[in-house]
Amino acid sequence: MKVVALVSGGKDSCYAAMKCVAYGHELVALANLKPVSNVDEADSYMYQTVGHEVIEAYSKCLGVPLVRLETKAKLANSDMAYEPTPGDEVEDLYQLLSIVKSQYPEVQAVSSGAVLSNYQRLRVENVCSRLGLTSFGYLWKRDQQALLREMIDQQVNAILIKVAAIGLDPNRHLKQSIKAMEPHLILLEKKYGVSVCGEGGEFETLVLDCPLFKQRIGGWFLPQIFSVHRKVA
């Protein structure tokens, strides 16, 4: 099937796109929701927006077009069984994927990196159902230690760009790769119940390279990202 990948810049959405390709699907477009102008990071229940400054480069690295739309990240419906609600951030996703379908009518499916959150998964599925698209969630309910190790083994080069959990120190752990952080994250899971994959918002990542990339993301953007987000890490 021809797939549009929802991408945030983080490891999960990137690896989900890799799994789509591995299973024989064709990646034809990327889609991303970014914060409104003059907002560095949206307070969203659905979307990672930290590191959004680099998303434009992903289109070049992957060799596929990118469709972006702003989101105000407003919560208007927190029910687990989501129904379309005007003003909710989920409707921003509906609008984004509607644009994708209009520009790329060959798209049949949507890839997302949901691992543990039913809240996120059900909302993506709701939008896909309304648009006649198939939702691919190849990371869903994977064992997190095994999933993190698999990402590392499959050459997903991702670094931490935000930390927000006990045992994670911005002075020590920002810019560290998931490979370097793996033993520490497993230790924190055992001691404090920290999610190894950051599914509770413990940390956010940014992918610098992976097997799908035609070229590596350069380091030119890192000072900008860390000067903006270090204060919230």
CA-to-CA separations, 111 to 67, 140, 167, in angstroms, rounded:
14, 11, 32
Q: In this predicted structure, what is the pLDDT of residue 217? A: 87
Whole-number pLDDT of residue 105:
98
Amino acid at residue number 43: D
CA angle 197, 201, 205 (to 5 degrees): 60
CA gap 136, 128 in Å, rounded: 10
Q: What are the residue boundaries of the structural domains of the chain, listed by start?
A: 2-136, 144-232
Domain 144-232: which topology?
Answer: putative n-type atp pyrophosphatase, domain 2 (3.90.1490)
Q: What are phi and psi of 96, to 5 degrees?
A: -60, -50
Q: What is the CATH class of 2-136?
A: alpha beta
Question: If we measure between CA atoms, which residue out of 214, 154, 208, 224 comes closest to residue 176?
Answer: 208
Taking the chain (233 residues) in consecutive chunks of 10 residues, what is each chunk's mean pLDDT?
Answer: 96 98 98 77 64 86 95 77 86 97 98 91 96 98 98 98 94 96 98 94 94 84 48 38
pLDDT at residue 232, as a whole number: 38
pLDDT at 228: 42
* pLDDT confidence of residue 40: 57
From the number of C-beta atoms within 10 Å of its C-beta (0-12, 13-18, 19+), residue 115 rates as: buried
